[in-house]
Structure 1
Amino acid sequence: MPTAVAVTSADLALPAQDERTLPAVVLPDLDRQPLEQAVLSLHALVEQHGHVVVVYSRGAPAAVERRLHTVRSLLESDRIALFRPDLPPLAVAVLARQLRQLASCDLGPGVLASAGRLLTHYLHAGALLGSVARLDRVPVDLKAHARSWLPGSQFAVLAHPEPQLVRLGPGAALKGPEFATRLVHARGQLTSDWVTAGLAPAWNVQGVHEAPLPAESATWWGTGKVVEFCSHLSDLPVLYQLVASVRQSPCHWCGIQVIGDRCVFCSAAPPPAHDLPVPAG
């Protein structure tokens, strides 16, 4: 069975991008259900799929993260990877879908789970906001805070890869990707077509799709007056080539093949240089 990609709420499970995209496993209400039920659910998932990658947002309640770590500890399993990227909720949903696409390929579980960190570099995630008064994810100067109290003010914000904030008006623009992408957006309590009519053409995206706004977005952005967006790579061959071209190496602790400098399953970092074997000769 392919590695399972799980999310902590149904609104992080975006519709399949193509016929090969595997369905997401939704783990809802982890902080509300009995601990025994959560343990049994994840144990059954590991037994069925071999390995599980749980993708969740930094906007999720702290109780959800505590429950995930508790369950993994109780199961004493190194086959559960917890991935909490520093991205807005819609971008987390996009990243989870990319991993679901790759899960259908011949990638080992360690490489698939490690791919999440790699693919974040190719996401451009932000939002159109009606207020930045409570925004703490992107630096906001005093002038922008003052302007956010003016009726009708709107702000275009890029949270990743480089923070940007501009007040919406003639000539307002955000620096976008330098490669071909698609754009997904989600509307909150803000009525504006700037993302589709202004941002999308400026970024030369190859397609625009709408998704439901994740429930955690209002917490992440500090306001419900938001139109969230994320540009991303969508073609499976491109995603696969990006991941497959990176050097793989076995984790020195658990032995699973990974990419990057830290195992996503056992969390082992590379050993100190003086602990590495000395090449002969």
Structure 2
Amino acid sequence: MSTDPSRSHCVVALLADIPTTGHLGDAQAERFTLKGDDLAARSAGFLDFSARHLAAGRKVIALYPQWHSEEAERAVQFARLSLGTDHIAGIDVDIAPLALSLMADQLAYLAPYLPSGLVASLVDELPQHMLSGGWMKSVSGLSTIPITLKQHVGSYLPTTTFLAFCTPVKRVGRVKDDNPAPNIPQRPMEPVQILVSAPEKVEHSDFNDQFIPSLGCQMAGGLPEQPLGWKYWGTTKYVEFVAFSAHPQALTHPVKSIRATPCLWCREPISAGVICRFCRGANQLPAGRPPKQGADVPAPPAKTTGEHIRPSWVAQQSSSADGRTQRPPARQGNTGTGPQSQSTDPADSTPPAPRS
């Protein structure tokens, strides 16, 4: 653990009725269900928690599900305004409850060892290293993951089984010939461990016999039903799972995958080219390091020849009758008489320093 006094540390909170998986032992995010008669009553626990840790010099990262965010957004805004601080970062996460519970505890485990901005950036990176989803007979009520009309109609057939994923990609596929292997987008690094959660009355023997062997899991654990699972999956008959690597160095790979740069406003290390989760300042990619080409990155413009970049006065040159060629118009500026004009070269100008 670093003893650098300039490094800011943080604590992690989860603003939803999402119990812990217990996978990381005592390293758990603080849970707040946000229940009460009014905003003050629902936010009281989180407000006291934030005030106590802010007084100790720690920042607060508050996670909440994107599909159940109304009360959590109000609580975060209420805490930031009441305490007059931007050291509380509210981050919405669009993944299933079981995966969100595991990720919140992973962040709580890493928080003492990493800067606050890097912990906040891991919210986008950690879901890419786990496989989470649901095993269902019907997706007609599923609204958090895109489905097709054919899948919606197929939900009314009695023998249909669907395998839906929310990480690392959002995808819904139909299990054919009792073989779910073609639907799996990727497998975590060996050894693979899986946590399973399902309502008490849901039979999931098919899931245990088909999906777990196809994933190659070495360890499996069962958990009670997540209270908000029905809201995410749109049904009460589902089996929710999250598979991840149980390798001792599994959490170091997501940290090394982040390309961190200091925020231009609060100097907190964040992922390059994103909005800081604390001060909400917009940042840009570092100069001299262009982004990688991908499906969501536009390609650079095609190179042009000199004919397309000639000054306008070149095209207007013409030879006179006595053979002399017209010269370009004189540049207005420092003529030696009168005041000198200021340079308009962008290289000579210095951008103003950002205000705190």
TM bin, normalised by shorter chain, reads 0.7 to 0.9
Question: Unaligned 5+ residue runs, structure 1?
Answer: none
Is the alpha carbon distance of 1:136 and 1:202 closer, same or farther for their aligned partners in structure 2, counting shifts above 3 Å? same
Give, as a single letter, the amino acid of the residue that structure 1 aligns with 2:59: H
Which of 4, 8, 12 is equivalent to 1:5? Answer: 12
Compared CA separation, residues 251 and 159, structure 1 to 2 (3 A)? same
Larger Rg: 2
Q: In the alignment, what sits opposite 2:143?
A: 136
Matched ranges for 1:139-218 at <5 A: 139-151=146-158, 153-173=160-180, 174-178=183-187, 179-180=189-190, 181-188=192-199, 189-218=201-230
Measure the CA separation in 2 of the matches of 1:58 and 1:269: 21
Q: Is the 8 A contact 2:132 2:167 kept in 1?
A: yes
Task: In structure 1, give the amino acid aligned to 2:40.
Answer: L
Work out the CA distance in 1 between the residues paired with 2:185 and 2:31.
31
Structure 1 residues 146 and 3 mapped into 2: Cα distance closer, same or farther (>3 Å)? same
2:86 maps to which residue? 78
**Partner residue of 2:319?**
none
Letter matched to residue 268 of structure 1: G
Deviation at 1:251, TM superposition (A): 0.7
Distance 1:234 1:60, change over 3 A: farther
Of the three residues 117, 123, 127, the one matched with 1:110 is: 117
**1:50-65 to 2 correspondences below 5 Å:** 50-65=58-73
Pairwise CA distance, 1:255: 1.2
1:266 aligns with one of 279, 300, 305: 279
Q: Report which stretch shifted further, 250-259 or 230-239.
A: 230-239
Q: Which moved more, 1:153-162 or 1:212-221?
A: 153-162
Structure scoring higher RCO (CA < 8 A, sep ≥ 6) equals: 1
The 1:200/1:48 distance shift into structure 2, 3 A limit, reads farther
Please, what TM-score do these two structures have when normalized by structure 2?
Answer: 0.68
1:234/1:43 Cα in 2 relative to 1: closer, same or farther (>3 Å)? Answer: farther
Q: After the TM superposition, which segments of 4 or more aligned residues of structure 1 sit over 6 Å from their partners?
A: 272-278
**After alignment, is 95-104 or 63-72 more displaced?**
63-72
1:238 paired residue number: 250
CA 32–56 in structure 1, closer or farther in 2 if over 3 Å, else same: farther
Give the distance between the partners of 1:44 and 1:271, measured in 2 at CA: 33
1:99 deviation in Å? 0.8
> What is the root-mean-square deviation of aligned Cα atoms in Å?
2.9
Aligned residue for 2:134?
Answer: 127
Alpha-carbon separation, structure 2, partners of 1:241 and 1:168: 31
Q: 128-137 or 159-168: which moved more?
A: 159-168
Quickly say closer, same or farther: Cα 1:152–1:271, change in 2 above 3 A.
Answer: closer
Shift of 1:34: 4.6
CA deviation after TM superposition for structure 1 residue 236, in Å: 5.1
Query: 1:71, 1:30 → 2: CA distance?
Result: 16
CA contact (8 A) 2:136 2:237 kept: yes
Which 5+ residue runs of structure 2 have no aligned equivalent?
1-7, 288-345, 352-356
Distance 1:22 1:201, change over 3 A: same
- SS of structure 2 residue aligned to 1:101: helix
2:40 matches 1:35: yes
Per-residue CA shift, 1:206-230, capped at 9, x if unaligned?
Answer: 3212222222221111111111111
Tell me how far apart the structure 2 counterparts of residues 243 and 76 of structure 1 sit (CA, whole Å). 31
Quick one: which of 10, 30, 36 aligns to 1:25?
30
Q: Helix, strand or coil for the counterpart of 2:61? A: strand
Q: Percent identity?
A: 23
Q: Deviations over 1:30-61 (max 9, x none)?
A: 56455272533432243246111112112325
Change (3 A) 1:88 1:277: farther
Q: Which residue does the alignment assign to 1:15?
A: 22
1:98 to 2:106 alignment: yes
Once the two structures are TM-superposed, the CA of residue 73 in structure 1 deviates from its matched residue by 3.1
Letter of the structure 2 residue corresponding to residue 229 of structure 1: F
